A = this chain, B = another copy of it.
């Protein structure tokens, strides 16, 4: 079983949060974790994944065009994605500057891919996903790991 963490990162903050989330995925025995930037990710990565956790910096309220392009161009494999687990994360420059709407832009794409969506668990923030302003601090890192673990645990439950 495999979880793909897909990110776009210019400053490095979103990549750092991706790596924290990966730690949580790897806590779950039997689930492997692949981390790729949007420029590296392939259709095969989508097909091989049982769950995808996708994260973008906030660019004008929704995911970066570079990530949207991935969702748009992978349309041919849409029907193979149904029933896989999906979750979102984001990083921002401003505390109320689009982190939530960015995560929802990702969640909307995943729902249309037929995926099953989870937010971060109640012992993290218990909301739409994991997000932070600037680089992830200790709390964001911990919440990221909890999101990763939640997705991996659910993947294991559904695929076993």
Tell me how many chains of this kind the complex includes: 4
Bin chain A's interface residue count. 35 or more
Q: Is A65 an interface residue (CB 8 A)?
A: yes
Q: Known contacts A60-B109, A61-B109; is A122 also within 8 Å of B79 by CB? A: yes
Question: In the complex the two chains form, is B61's CB within 8 Å of A69's CB?
Answer: no
- CB contacts (< 8 Å) of A129 on chain B: these are 96
Chain A 52-79 residues near chain B, CB threshold 8 A: 59-66, 68-69, 71-73, 75, 78-79
Smallest beta-carbon distance A86→chain B, Å: 9
Q: Is A82 an interface residue (CB 8 A)?
A: yes
B99 touches A126 (CB 8 A): no
- State whether A119 touches B114 (Cβ < 8 A): yes
Residue of B nearest to A103 (CB): B96
Task: Report the nearest B residue to A82, measured CB to CB.
Answer: B122
Q: How far is the CB of A64 from chain B (nearest CB, A)?
A: 6
